[in-house]
Amino acid sequence: MGGAAELAEFRGKVGQMKQSIRITGAMRLVAAAKVRRAQSAVLQSRPFSETLAALIVNLRSKLTYADVDSKYLEERKVKNVVLLVISGERGLCGPYNSKVINMTEARINELKEQGIGAKLVFVGKKAYEYFAKRDVDIVK
């Protein structure tokens, strides 16, 4: 009797594992689709940002010959940079969050070597939780 009950319990656990695997696979497919959509949006915005950058450079070169006095056209030494850090909100993004954190730390170190301060703005709480425990300047 005990053997049959244990076998039924084991089969139930195997069924639960198969269901968990199916759900995880579906979540992976949804996440991959979202990443592809985000990449597509970035690629579609590239022509706009390139055109805008060219427009600004062109405008600035034309304004150097004009008699325009504006504090917005003055060249200044960069003292601080704001980094937008986008990480996960919940679990199942461990490798992504680790990569974001490592890249952010590397960029902070690059800026420090250049004598530039870094302030961080966060989207998602995983990176925020990591950097809140460290000596970084967080914009709240």
Instruction: Enumerate residues 6+ apart whose C-beta is below 8 A from 92.
Output: 27, 31
Query: Structure pTM?
Result: 0.57
Give the span between the Cα atoms of 115 and 105, in whole angstroms.
15
Give the span between the Cα atoms of 17 and 22, in whole angstroms.
9
* Segment 17-65, tens digit of pLDDT: 999 999 999 998 998 898 888 888 888 888 888 898 888 888 877 776 6
Give the span between the Cα atoms of 58 and 60, in whole angstroms.
5
Among this protein's residues, is 85 annotated catalytic? Answer: no
Q: Return the structure tokens found at 67.
A: 């008699």
* Segment 63-111, tens digit of pLDDT: 766 666 777 777 788 899 999 999 988 777 788 899 999 999 999 999 9
Q: Give which of 112, 117, 110, 106 is closest to 139, Cα–Cα.
A: 117
pLDDT for residue 53:
85
pLDDT for residue 111:
94
pLDDT for residue 22:
93
CB count in 10 Å sphere of residue 31: 13
Task: Give the active site residue among 81, 93, 101, 118.
Answer: 93
pLDDT for residue 41:
86
Residue type, 131: F
pLDDT for residue 49:
84
